[in-house]
């Protein structure tokens, strides 16, 4: 099968068994984004946007990058966070398990990597 032209990669990261309180804390999620930006050498465009749902709800966050985006959606009621990291340039994967253990304390981390390709 013929390969297309690389237009980057995306990591989809599922974190299960997280402490619910940390999944409601915008500051903890911002620190995770900051660590990812630093570790991957990404360029932030503007400020990250955060929406904390009321009560016991979770948080949705989005950071626009010149390389693409970081996004997270948390579900404290399930101890779960879904993270998306997309870069238009291929680069080595960060140690997601280490970073997430430091910031979200998950019991389980699943990382899937998608190679993005444009086809003629």
Q: Using DSSP, state whether 10 is helix, strand or coil.
A: strand
C-alpha distance from residue 78 to each of 16, 37, 107 (Å)? 8, 27, 12
Which of 16, 69, 73, 84 is catalytic? The answer is 73
Residue pair 63/33 in contact by the 8 Å Cβ criterion: yes
The bridge status of strand 68-75 relative to strand 49-52 is unpaired
Given 16, 69, 84, 88, the catalytic residue: 88
Pick the catalytic residue: 15, 68, 87, 103? 68
Can 88 be counted among the known catalytic residues?
yes
Residue 18 annotated in active site: no
Among 119, 116, 117, 120, CA closest to 10:
116
How open is the CA angle 21-98-29, to the nearest 5 degrees?
A: 35
Hey, how many other C-beta atoms are within 10 angstroms of the C-beta on 90? 11
108 in catalytic set: no
Question: What amino acid positions are annotated as catalytic residues?
Answer: 68, 73, 88
């Amino acid at each position: 099968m013929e390969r297309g032209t690389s237009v980057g990669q995306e990591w989809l990261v599922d974190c299960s068994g997280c402490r619910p309180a940390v999944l409601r804390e915008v500051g903890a999620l911002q620190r995770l984004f900051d660590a990812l930006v630093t570790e991957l050498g990404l360029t932030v465009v503007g400020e990250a946007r955060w929406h904390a749902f009321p009560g016991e709800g979770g948080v949705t966050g989005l950071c626009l990058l010149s390389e693409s985006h970081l996004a997270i959606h948390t579900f404290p009621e399930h101890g779960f966070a879904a993270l998306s990291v997309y870069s238009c340039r291929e680069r080595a994967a960060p140690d997601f398990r280490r970073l997430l253990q430091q910031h979200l304390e998950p019991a389980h981390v699943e990382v899937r990597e998608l190679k993005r390709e444009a086809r003629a």
